[in-house]
Structure 1
Amino acid sequence: MEMYSNFQLERVAMLAAGLATIAFISLRIWRLFIHNRFARRHGCQPVARSANKDPFLGLDTIRRGIRAAREHKTLEKSCERFRLYGNTYTSKMFLTPVIVSVEPENIKTALAVNFTDYGIAHRFEVFKPLLGKGIFDTDGDHWAKSRALIRPNFARDQVADLTMFENLISDLFALIPRDGKTVVDLQSLFFRYTTDSATEFLFGESVGSLQKSQSEFGFTVAFNYALNAITTKGMLGPLGVFYRDRKADESNRICREFAEQFVEKAIHAVQPDQEGEEKTNPQTKRQKYIFSHELASRTSDKRRILDELMNVLIAGRDTTASLLSNMFFMLAKHPAIWAKLRAEVASLEGRLPTYTELRNLKYVKFSLRLHPVVPVNDRLAMRDTVLPMGGGKDGLSPVFVPKGTLFSYNVYAMHRRTDLYGADAEVFRPERWEDGRLQPRWGYLPFNGGPRICLGQQYALTEAAYVTVRMAQEFQVLESRDAGPWEESLTLTLCSLNGTKVSVTPA
C-alpha cells in the first residue's frame, strides 16, 4: 500500500512538472507571437550588431566592464564599441537584454516622447542605502511628488542669489598658492568648495571643509566612499545583490546620520512657536534661504525630507565640482582659451558679476560637451515599446524594445560624434558654438532631458560660472602641471583621474 502511494505521488509530481513545462513553453511561444505581431505593426527590424560573445548570460559584458573600470577606460572603450558596432547595438548583462545607443532620436523618445514607457526603479536597490527613496531612484507617483516637492527650491530668486558663492571664495583662494610654481589640485578644492556651498544651501550651515583638512572631516570621506560603492555595485548588474562592503555600510550610516540632525532642525524651525503662531512660510521669518526648511514646510515626513536631501546633495556637490574640475583641466591645457575667457571677464572691470552676466558666459556651458558630468545613463522598459532608429542593416528602421529591456544611452560618446560636431569633435574648442550654426538639439544633453531634466541645472551652471569668473579675475596665468592627457575617473559623475594639477600667478 505504501509503495502504491509513493508511486502515485511520483506520477502526480511528474505530471505537475510536465504541465509546468508545457505552460512555460506555451507562455514563451505566446509572448514570442505577441512580440512579433507588435514589431511588425510598428515596422520594426532587429538591431544588426551585438557586442556580446556570450549570447546567453552576457557575463562577458560584466567582465569587460570591470576590466575597463580598473584601467579607467570605461568611456574610451565605449567609444570604440560604437565605432565598431554602429550608433545602436545590442548587448546582454546576466540575462537582461540591453540596447545601447547614441542616436539623439532614440534618446529623445525614451526620455520625452514615450517617457511613461521607461523607468529607473532598477536603480533603487543600488541607491537605497545612501539615498533612500527619492527623486533619483523612483518612478510614478513617488517620483512626481518628489519633483513637485523639490522644484520650488530652484526658483530663479534662489538660484540668482550669489551671496553664498562669494562668501566661500575667500576660503577657496586661501588654499591656492600664488607663486606660479607650486602645484595645486583644483579638483580637490572644487569638491570641497561645492561640499560647503551645497551644505549651506541645503542645511543652512556649511560643513566648512575648505577650512579643514580632508582627514578632519569624516562626512566628506564617507560620502566619497559611499558613492564609489554605488558605482561598483551598479557595475555588477543583477549580480550586485551578492555585493557586500562593510565600509560602504558604515559610510552610508555616517552620511545619513549627519543629514538627520538637520532634518530635526528643519522640522523644529517650521513648527508653530510657543505662542501658537504658524510658521508656514519660513521665508517671511528669515532672510536666509534654507532648502531643508522649505522641504519641511511642505511635508512633515522626516524620512521623506532626509531622502530628498541626500538626493539633492549628490547633485549639488558632485555635478558642479566635476564640471569645474574638467573645465579647468582643459583651460590649463589651452592658455589661448584661458586668455580669451579672461578678456571676456575683463568687461566687468573687476566688479562682481550679476546673475544675468553669468548666464552669458559661454565657456562654462560648452565645456560640458567633452566631459558631461553624467556621461552614461539608462532606462528600463516598463512595457513593450519602440525606438525610432537602430534597426536593420542601415540602422534606420524602428527597433522593438520588449518589456524588461535596458536602454543605455551614452552622452559622452554622442558628444564626440563627428557627424554632429565636426571632424575635430575630440578637440576642446568652445568657439565651435559661436556662430550659432551648431544646433545638435538632443545630440547635446549635459543635463538630461524630458520630464526628468535636471531641476538644478541653472544652480550648477550659475555656481560654476561664478567660480570661473572669480578665478579669472584673481589669476592671470593658469598653467597645467599634468604632463599627460585627461583620464577618466568615473563614479556617478565624471572627473579627472589625476585631478586638476595647475600652478597660478595672480592678476
Structure 2
Amino acid sequence: MSGYDPSGIADVVYGVRASHKKVFPIYAQANFERVAKKYGRPVGTLRVRAPFFRDTLVTTDPQNIQTMLALKFKDFGLGVNRTENFEPLLGHGIFATNGKQWEYSRALLRPQFIRGQVSDLNLEEGHVKALMTVLNRHVGPNGWTDLVDLQPLFFRLTLDSATEFLFGESVNSQLEAGESGGEKDGSFANAFDRAQYTLSIGSRLGPNYWIVHLPEFHRMVKQVHEFVDYFVQKALHQGISEKPVNEDKYVFLNALAKETQDPEQLRSQLLNILLAGRDTTASTLGWFFFTMADPRYASVFRKLRAVILDEFGTYSNPKEITFEKMKGCQYLQWCLNECLRLYPAVPMNVRTAQVDTTLPTGGGVDGQSPIFVPKGQDVGYSVHLMHRRKDIWGPDAEIFKPERWLSRRPGWDYLPFNGGPRICIGQQFALTEVGYVVIRMIQRIDSIDGSQVGPVKHGLTLTNCPGEGVKVRLHFAE
C-alpha cells in the first residue's frame, strides 16, 4: 500500500517542509491516518515511494517490528548506508556495526551496565546541584524564575553526568556555560552536536549520505576524537595493574580498558555510549517537563509532586533515594512510561534486509497478508507512531494519561528502548538518571508556568527533543 503520492515526489517535498517546520513526526502520523481513512481500516505498513532512491517500507505494526528486531533478527541489519554514514564519527561501535563486530561490541559493553554501576546516585547528585545553581541565578524575590529554557540545561546536565561516568572526569559544562552565557563555539559539546546533526541529515539521503560529509564535518569529527583520545591515552598509560586514584569510584573507561587496549576500539565504544547516554536522557527530561508545563496536566503534576514528597521527602530534607525505591514508586513509573510512550527518544529507525525475507502482516487487499521483502530493501519502523495508534492504545492515545499503566503490561507495542538482541543495554542507566532528576526537580519546584511553551515541535536529529525548547517559569518551593 503506497503513501500519499504514488510518484513519491510530493512525499519528498512535504517531508522536507515538515522537517524544516519541525513537525515531521506529526506529518508522518497524518500520512498514515490519511491512508487509513481512505481504506476505512487501520493501516500499519506503507510503501513510501522515492523518486531518486529505492522505495522504502515503513511500518508501525508490532508484529512486523517484533519480526525484524527479534524473530528474524539475522534477516535484518543496519544496512551499509547507515554503517558507512556513522563510521567517521562513531567508528566500529555498537550503534554502527552488524554481525560479528556488533556481537563483540555488545559482549564488551554489556557487563559494564550491571545494576551496581548504574544505580550509583551519588554521582548524579553533584550534577543536579550544579543545575540548581544555574537555576538559582534566575529566581526573583517572589520565588519565580524568569523565563528559562530547560532543554539546553538538561543537555549540559547529562553531558556532565555521562562524561564523569565514562571518563572519570566531568566536562562541567553546566557551570562553565552559566558563567560565560553559553558554550564556546570550539567546545567538545558543540563539535559533537554538529557532527551528529550531519549524520542525521546523511541518514535521510540514503546512499548519497556522503554529500554532507564536507570538510567542516571532518573538522568536527577530528575535534571530538582528540577530546576522547586524551582520556583513552590517560587510561592506557595508567595501566590496569596500577591502583586507581579513587578505587571506590567506578569509571567506565578504566573498566573497559581491562578488556581491550585498542585505542580506536575504546574511542568508538565511548562515543557510541556517550551519544546514547547524553542525548536520549536529555531529550526525555525535556519532553517530561514540556508535558508537566502543559495546563491540561496540572493535576498530574500536583499528584506526582505529592507522591514524591511522601516517598522521597523535600529537597532540603530528602529521604533516601535508591534505585529500588524509584522502581517501586508506582505513579512515578507510570509518568515516565507515559512520557516515553508519547515521546520516545529515538522515534524512527531503519533496518535493511540482508536476505530475501518476509514480514507477517501489511500486505494484500485487507492488509493482513505477509509482505515480501527483497534483499537490500530498507524497512523503516516508527515506535513514535506505533505508540500513538488509537487501534492499539485507545481513542485517548494522544493524551498523557499515567493511569493507563494501571492494568497494562508492556509488550511489542511499547518499545522506547528498542527490543530483541539490540535492546538498549543502558536503559536502566537512563531510567535511573531521568527518575532521579525528576524527583529532585519536583522536590524543589511546586509550580510550572508553561504559558510560553507553544505547540509541539520536534527537534529531530539522531534523537528527538522539543524542537523549540522548554521555555518555562518555575516557582521554587524552598
| TM-score, reference length from structure 1 | 0.85
Look up the equivalent residue of 2:421 and give its one-letter code. Answer: P
Q: For the residues of structure 1 that align with 2:89 and 2:255, how far apart are their CA atoms?
A: 22
Amino acid at match of 1:346: L
Given that 1:381 and 1:406 are in contact with CA atoms closer than 8 Å, whether structure 2 keeps it comes out as yes
Deviation at 1:482, TM superposition (A): 2.0
Unaligned runs of 5+ in 1: 1-47, 274-278
Distance in 1 between residues matched to 2:291 and 2:468, nearest whole Å: 13
Is 1:356 aligned to 2:324, yes or no?
A: yes
Match of 1:26 in 2: none
* Matched residue type, 1:143: W
Deviations 1:130-171 (A, max 9, x none): 111110011000000000111011101001111110111111
The worse-fitting range, judged by mean Cα deviation, of 314-323 and 424-433 is 424-433
Which of the residues 320, 342, 358 maps onto 2:305? Answer: 342
Aligned counterpart in structure 1 of residue 278 of structure 2, from 302, 309, 317? 317
User: How far did residue 478 of structure 1 move?
Assistant: 1.8
Superimposed CA distance per residue, residues 260-309 of structure 1 (whole angstroms, 9 cap, x where no aligned partner): 10110121233445xxxxx7xx79x7111111111110001111000000
Q: Which has the larger radius of gyration?
A: 1
Decide whether aligned partners of structure 1 residues 364 and 303 sit closer, same or farther in structure 2, where only a CA change above 3 A counts. same
Establish whether residue 184 from structure 1 lines up as the match of residue 148 from structure 2. Answer: yes
Q: 1-side partners of 2:320 and 2:470: how far apart?
A: 25
Aligned equivalents of 1:271 and 1:81: distance in 2?
Answer: 55
Matching residue within 46, 56, 74 for 1:89: 46
Aligned pair count reads 447
1:143 equivalent to 2:111? Answer no
Query: How far did residue 208 of structure 1 move?
Result: 0.3
Instruction: Tell me the equivalent position of 1:165.
Output: 124
* Superposition pairs of residues 163-312 of structure 1, within 5 angstroms: 163-176=122-135, 177-178=138-139, 179-213=143-177, 214-216=182-184, 218-273=187-242, 286-312=247-273
Inter-partner Cα distance in structure 2 for 1:49 and 1:303:
43
Match of 1:426 in 2: 398
Tell me, what secondary structure is at the counterpart of 2:441? helix
> Any conservation in 1 of the 2:453–2:472 contact (CA below 8 Å)?
no
**8 Å CA contact 1:203, 1:291 repeated in 2:** yes
**Other structure's SS at 2:160 match:** helix
The reply to whether residue 416 of structure 1 matches residue 388 of structure 2 is yes
Q: Is the 8 A contact 1:62 1:236 kept in 2?
A: no
Deviation at 1:503, TM superposition (A): 1.2
1:350-382 deviation digits (Å, cap 9, x = unpaired): 324111111233122321111110000110000
Offset, 1:483: 4.6
Cα gap change, 1:266 to 1:181, in 2 (>3 Å):
closer
Gaps of 5+ in 2: 36-42
| CA deviation profile, 1:78-129 (whole Å, cap 9, x unmatched) | 1011112321111244342311111000000000000000001431121112
Deviates more, 1:351-360 or 1:241-250: 241-250
Structure-2 change in CA distance of 1:60 and 1:292 (3 Å): farther
SS of match in other structure, 1:99: strand
Pair 312,212 (structure 1): closer, same or farther in 2 beyond 3 Å: same
Q: Partner amino acid for 1:120?
A: L
Shift of 1:62: 4.2
What residue identity is the alignment partner of 2:248?
Q
Q: Secondary structure at the match of 1:129?
A: helix
Question: Which is further off, 151-160 or 344-353?
Answer: 344-353
- Which one is further off, 351-360 or 304-313? 351-360
1:40 is matched with: none
Structure 2 residue matching 1:318: 3-state secondary structure: helix
Whole-angstrom CA distance in 2 between matches of 1:63 and 1:151: 42
Deviation at 1:491, TM superposition (A): 0.5
Structure 1 counterpart SS, 2:340: coil
Superposed counterparts of 1:453-464, under 5 Å: 453-464=423-434
Q: Which residue of 2 aligns with 1:30?
A: none
Runs of 4+ in 1 over 6 A off after TM superposition: none
C-alpha deviation, 1:399, in angstroms: 0.9
AA matched with 2:357: T
Does the CA-based 8 Å contact 2:3-2:31 persist in structure 1? no
Structure 1 counterpart of 2:465, one-letter code: C
Aligned to 1:33: none
Instruction: Provide Cα deviations, 1:11-34, integer angstroms capped at 9, x if missing partner.
Output: xxxxxxxxxxxxxxxxxxxxxxxx
Indicate which of 74, 88, 111 corresponds to 2:69: 111
Counterpart among 363, 377, 384 of residue 349 in structure 2: 377
The answer to whether the Cα contact below 8 Å between 1:121 and 1:137 also exists between their aligned partners in 2 is no
Q: Deviations over 1:422-467 (max 9, x none)?
A: 1111111222212x1x345111110000000000000000000000
Instruction: Give the partner amino acid of 1:81.
Output: N
Could you tell me whether the CA contact under 8 Å between 2:15 and 2:27 is conserved in 1? no
Amino acid at match of 1:357: K
Q: Are the aligned partners of 1:98 and 1:408 in contact in 2 as well (CA < 8 Å)?
A: yes
User: Which moved further from structure 2: 91-100 or 119-128?
Assistant: 91-100
Could you say what secondary structure the match of 2:342 adopts?
A: coil
The SS at the match of 1:455 is: coil
Matches within 5 A, 1:432-471: 432-434=404-406, 436=407, 438-439=408-409, 441-471=411-441
Aligned-partner residue type, residue 308 of structure 1? Q
How far apart are residue 181 of structure 1 and its match?
4.5
Corresponding letter in the other structure for 1:289:
Y
- Residue 367 of structure 1 aligns to a residue whose secondary structure is helix
**Equivalent residue in structure 1 for 2:2, among 46, 49, 52:** 49
Matched AA of 2:324: T
State the superposition RMSD in angstroms: 1.7
Distance in 1 between residues matched to 2:287 and 2:131, nearest whole Å: 17
Relative to structure 1, is the Cα distance of residues 461 and 402 closer, same or farther in structure 2, using a 3 angstrom cutoff?
same
Question: Percent sequence identity over matched residues?
Answer: 42
SS in 1 for 2:223: helix
**Which whole-Å CA distance do the structure 2 matches of 1:396 and 1:52 have between them?**
22
